[in-house]
């Protein structure tokens, strides 16, 4: 299974690329609330698709919630949980 720090680094890079596309420059740390830095609902959809592509799994509809997409930290927990369950299968 991938290290938590590696997953978090990859997630931060995904969020930063979306911010860059929107010409948003902010200090981003794992606890930063994504809506507070200017991500729109469309950006969140793009982020979800980017996460699915980056980590090669589909996020179940039941887990596409505002709580899971609050911050890089919450996304990290979601991805780590999926990678762990996939590794265990």
Is residue 63 within 8 A of residue 85, CB to CB? The reply is no
Q: Find tokens 């200090």 and name the residue.
A: 27
Tell me the whole-structure pTM to 2 decimals: 0.90
The conformational region for residue 35 under phi > 0 = left, psi -120 to 50 = alpha, else beta, is alpha
How does pLDDT run across 57-89, given as a tens digit for each residue? Answer: 999 999 999 999 999 999 999 999 998 887 777
Q: Does domain 4-88 have CATH number 3.30.1490.20?
A: no
* CB-count burial class (<10 Å; 0-12, 13-18, 19+) for 77: middle
Helices 41-55 & 72-88 angle (0-180, nearest 10): 30
How does pLDDT run across 3-38, given as a tens digit for each residue? Answer: 779 999 999 999 999 999 999 899 999 999 999 999
């Amino acid at each position: 299974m991938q290290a938590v720090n590696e997953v978090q680094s990859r997630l931060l890079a995904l969020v930063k690329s979306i911010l860059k596309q929107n010409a948003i420059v902010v200090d981003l740390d794992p606890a930063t609330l994504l809506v507070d830095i200017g991500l729109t609902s469309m950006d969140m959809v793009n982020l979800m698709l980017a996460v699915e592509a980056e980590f090669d799994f589909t996020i179940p509809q039941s887990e596409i919630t505002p709580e899971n997409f609050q911050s890089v930290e919450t996304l990290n927990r979601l991805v780590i949980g999926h990678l762990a369950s996939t590794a265990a299968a």
